[in-house]
Amino acid sequence: MHIAPYNNKNIPIVNVDHDLVPLNYFNIVKLTKGENFKYRLNKYETCIVPATGTINVDVDGQHFKSVGNRSIDVWGGEPEGVYVPTDTKVCFECITDTAEIFIAGAKYEKVLEPFAVRPKDIDLVQYGSDETKTHRKIKHILGANQRDKVGRLLVSELYTVGSGGWSGFPSHKHDTDRLPQETRHDETYNFRFKPNYGSGLQMLQREDNKPGEAYHIIDGSTVLIDKGYHPCCALPGYEMYYFTILGGLSQRPLKQYFQPTHEEQLATIPGIMDMVAKFK
């Protein structure tokens, strides 16, 4: 499902128990200096990540100061975030002129401990190649480094390296719990392009060797992945970024099932299995 950019007025774009991706939660909050935003989610753990701007975060009395260091866009620095446990009250305040904040969530009932993610905690992986048109890097905000601190939520930022190219290829899916082959993880993306008038394509193929769907994605597009194989690409001449939320049904580690038709191409893409191993 493609959701075109719109002014959500700080109301969740993907609310709790969404029809397509009930394991995910997603909100974009925009504030000016001195404004704050409060929430408390029952049965969902969340992660607050400033796309731009800087905020102070209070999680049930624990204070995390000056979170976020990017002033212009998501290419302007390393991500930072704060993990918020299930059923815990949180308030964050904008301390720069403006701030745009992503709130990512996954369904999880146990209450854990809050913590901040700073640049030193980010797990970076780069893979692919210019020759295969698959060169990209991933910055894991809640990834393998936080595996013992989080319930079901995985949060990352994905960037194409250079202009144009494909991401999420060879095509894979993760819509059915059938270990050891695959896990059920709902997924939500929010896209940005550089320059911001760039665009791309999100494919969603429900069954191998049968025609699927395709969405024209632009700066600010949100895509919900409930079922099927889902590669995407940026037009030549443009860089692409997407904020990624994964919520697991029965476990946090993601087990991708690669599309049989294209699976042989795994051997052609440098470092791809190292990338797969990071989603834990």
List pLDDT tens digits, range 239-261: 999 999 999 999 999 999 999 98
Tokens representing 148 are 């013992």
60-113 residue pLDDT tens: 999 999 999 999 999 999 999 999 999 999 999 999 999 999 999 999 999 999
Q: Kindly state the percentage of the chain with pLDDT values over 90.
A: 84
- Residue 4 placed within a domain: no
pLDDT of residue 132: 83
- Residue 1 placed within a domain: no
- Residue 5 placed within a domain: no
pTM value is 0.95
Phi and psi dihedrals of 73, rounded to 5? -155, 180
Residue with tokens 């013992």: 148
For residue 142, the tally of other CB atoms under 10 A from its CB is: 27
One-letter amino acid of 165: G
- Residue 243 placed within a domain: yes
Give me the number of domains the chain comprises: 1
- Residue 235 placed within a domain: yes
**Pick from 32, 37, 35, 29: which is nearest to 59 by CA?**
37
Question: Cβ-count burial of 211 within 10 angstroms (0-12 exposed, 13-18 middle, 19+ buried)?
Answer: exposed
pLDDT of residue 213: 94
Is residue 183's pLDDT more than 80? yes
- Residue 75 placed within a domain: yes
Alpha carbon distance 29, 164 (integer Å): 29
Any idea what the CATH number is for the domain that residue 252 is in?
A: 2.60.120.10
Tokens representing 57 are 């975060």
> Average of pLDDT values for 223-250?
96
Q: Which domain holds residue 49?
A: 10-277
Tokens representing 235 are 């037009």
- Residue 31 placed within a domain: yes
Alpha carbon distance 248, 267 (integer Å): 27
